[in-house]
Amino acid sequence: MTSDSPPAAAHGGAIRVPVPLGERAYDILIGRGLLAEAGALIASLGARRSVIVSDETVASLYADRLIASLAERGVGSTMIMVPPGEASKSYESLAHVCDAVLAARIERGDLVIALGGGVVGDLAGFAAAIVRRGVRLVQIPTTLLAQVDSSVGGKTGINSRHGKNLVGAFHQPSLVIADTSALDTLAPRELKAGYAEVVKYGLIDDAAFFAWCEDNWFGVLSGGEERDFAVARSCEAKAAAVARDEREDGDRALLNLGHTFAHALERAAGYDAARLVHGEAVAVGLALAFRFSERLGLCPRQDANRVEDHLNEVGLPTRLQDVPGGCGSAEWLLDAMAQDKKVKDGALTFILARGIGQSFIARAVPTDTVRKFLVGEFYAPR
């Protein structure tokens, strides 16, 4: 992916980003107002029946439009609702969704539709992966985070008391429909949080896209053409990483830039959205990953500063002190990181960077090095 090439191919007014995965290949369609076309797009997959999994907030805004669009094309639908928020990625909600899918007599030719943010996508996706040993899934992501990240790539799952996303499955969707106008109703805080994942793609391997973000972030948040471009560019980056390494045996792990820190911070904040949402944790995690890389002598200070300045300009947190209510101690965070699934043989794996757009996987980072860095971060002046 480079930022000087035009966005992905057009498809009936929408941008189409293919995810080339052989017999599991699918398209991501991106554009304003696409929800009205969802019925036609889903009917073309040959489904006659569907269940729509959504949270109460999203359903009140978009379910009627989706149900009507499906009905127009003769696709039946049953609604399954969960409460909004991370707490719905639980065993209880999973059982509720699986039972409701079975009660709706959804069979292997039918479809589960995830209408919502990453929480709904991960939960409904996991249910689709395991009910009747797998039914087809369509993702209709309605947050920026879900449009640029969680709806693409097939990772699904729920949280355990041992940590986030520890119980799950790979289950690729058959189609992703990203209606960028749905983001108009998203709370500004959630929009900004999702933007952290957009920035991440530039930081991983596309310095030109990061520079584009520095110049165009306001358009992305306010819903101009820049938004569709940023979603498409991000999806292209994610699709390419997933196509190279579907099950994260290799460099798909680069997509976890900032996430080892982020997951520990979310845990420290008790998964309490009032304190910290996932994308905000990612913003702090990205800034930490670059400062850690700088501290290790890998990354120029000016690049670490640029990352922090950009995230701050957008209004995203970048420091441990920015987490409302605090986030424990260095020892506590280290312990939380050790619980994270990105730990192999007791050694910590981090995604570090030699500069903006030059990230790499660093295995076996000594815990003591991380401890010293975190202690410094707790006491660092802003």
Report the interface residues with ligand NAD, using CB under 6 A: 55, 57-58, 61, 84-86, 89, 116-120, 122, 142-143, 145-146, 149-150, 153, 155, 164-165, 182, 185-186, 190, 277-279
Query: Closest CB to ligand NAD among 58 and 327?
Result: 58
Least distance from ligand NAD to the Cβ atom of residue 66, Å: 12
Query: Closest CB to ligand NAD among 89 and 227?
Result: 89
Q: Determine contact, residues 317/283, Cβ cutoff 8 Å.
A: yes
What span, in angstroms and rounded, lies between the C-alpha atoms of 48 and 46?
A: 7
Query: Closest CB to ligand NAD among 149 and 206?
Result: 149
Least distance from ligand NAD to the Cβ atom of residue 122, Å: 5
Query: Closest CB to ligand NAD among 1 and 176?
Result: 176
371: enclosing H helix or E strand: helix 367-379
Q: Give me the active site residues, please.
A: 133, 155, 197, 238, 248, 252, 256, 259, 263, 278
- The residues, ordered by sequence, that sit 6+ positions from 231 with a Cβ below 8 Å of its Cβ are 30, 144, 147, 148, 178, 180, 198
As given in the structure block, the two tokens for residue 53 are 């999994």
Least distance from ligand NAD to the Cβ atom of residue 382, Å: 26
Partner residues linked to 133 by β-bridges: none
Least distance from ligand NAD to the Cβ atom of residue 302, Å: 29
What span, in angstroms and rounded, lies between the C-alpha atoms of 283 and 193?
A: 8
Q: How far is CA 379 from CA 111, 297, 329, 353, in A?
A: 51, 20, 11, 23
Partner residues linked to 362 by β-bridges: 350
361: enclosing H helix or E strand: strand 359-365
Query: Closest CB to ligand NAD among 39 and 125?
Result: 125
Least distance from ligand NAD to the Cβ atom of residue 94, Å: 13
As given in the structure block, the two tokens for residue 197 are 């994942």
